[in-house]
Amino acid sequence: GKKINQLPIGCKHAIKMLACVGSKCDKSILKMFMSEMEGMQGSIRRLNHERNDQFLFLDFAVDEGLVKKEGHDYFFAHDEIQNAAYSLIPEFERGLLHKRIGNLIFDHTPDDRVDGVLFLVADQLNRGSEFIKEEKE
Question: How does pLDDT run along the chain (137 residues), one tens digit per residue?
Answer: 789 999 998 899 899 999 999 989 999 999 888 877 665 544 444 444 444 677 899 999 999 999 999 999 999 999 999 999 999 999 889 999 999 999 999 999 999 999 999 999 999 999 999 776 665 54
Alpha carbon distance 70, 2 (integer Å) = 25
Query: pTM for this structure?
Result: 0.83
| Predicted local distance difference test score (pLDDT) of residue 34 | 83
Alpha carbon distance 43, 123 (integer Å) = 28
- Classify residue 34 as exposed, middle or buried by CB count within 10 Å of its CB (0-12, 13-18, 19+): buried
